[in-house]
Amino acid sequence: MSDLKLDAEGLYLELKRGVQRLLTPDTALVGIWSGGAWLAERLAADLDVASGVISSALHRDDFGSRGLAKADHTTLPFDVNGRDILLIDDVLYTGRTTRAVINELFDFGRPASVQLAVLVDRGGRQLPIEPAYSAARVTLSKEQSLRLVRDEAGAFSFEVK
């Protein structure tokens, strides 16, 4: 699949339209560290919505085999209780990271609802998790990895390995 061409900037505009349709007066965007956090930061500025960053590190199910993930903080500068939380991620794959951040989120309070919007859904789910919106769906083999990168100017692109 080395010929895979994904236009991250184009997909971002799609994501922005999708997210706009999901907004309620109580929505807060929560970007999953790291790629999702970049997206949430830009979406929050473009759509004028509250946003925060969430890390899966303290709730990962592979802690026993992989150890503690690189230190990164969850920062939610608003009260989670009663909010409509819209999780934002760059790539949705097994669903395990989403599960971990939902647990992390509930350590801060009880949101009214939790939804997920992603730039790319690459299939391969290992948990019953579905996004409310995905800008693209692609099929990749297990050996391939796909992640968002951000250059110094803040422009998005995809790295496929």
Give dist(CA 102, CA 81) in Å, integer. Answer: 14
Neighbours of 115 (CB within 10 A): 18
Is the Cβ of residue 78 or residue 108 nearer to other proteins in the bound state? 108
Report in angstroms how near the CB of residue 37 gets to other proteins at its nearest.
14
Site string for other proteins, 60-79 (x = CB under 8 A): ---xx-xxx--xxxxx----
The 3-state DSSP class for residue 89 equals: strand
Report in angstroms how near the CB of residue 79 gets to other proteins at its nearest.
10
Report in angstroms how near the CB of residue 54 gets to other proteins at its nearest.
12
CB 15 within 8 A of CB 135: yes
Is the Cβ of residue 60 or residue 150 nearer to other proteins in the bound state? 60
* DSSP summary character for residue 3: T
Report in angstroms how near the CB of residue 82 gets to other proteins at its nearest.
13
| Number of residues binding to other proteins, judged by CB under 8 A | 19
Neighbours of 64 (CB within 10 A): 7
Report in angstroms how near the CB of residue 5 gets to other proteins at its nearest.
37
Cis peptide before 34 (omega within 30 of 0): yes
Give dist(CA 94, CA 123) in Å, integer. Answer: 7
Is the Cβ of residue 73 or residue 161 nearer to other proteins in the bound state? 73
Give dist(CA 101, CA 115) in Å, integer. Answer: 12
Residues 44-63 that bind other proteins (CB under 8 A): 55, 57-59, 63
Is the Cβ of residue 21 or residue 66 nearer to other proteins in the bound state? 66
How many residues in the chain? 161
Q: Would you tell me which residues interact with other proteins (CB under 8 A)?
A: 55, 57-59, 63-64, 66-68, 71-75, 103, 106-109
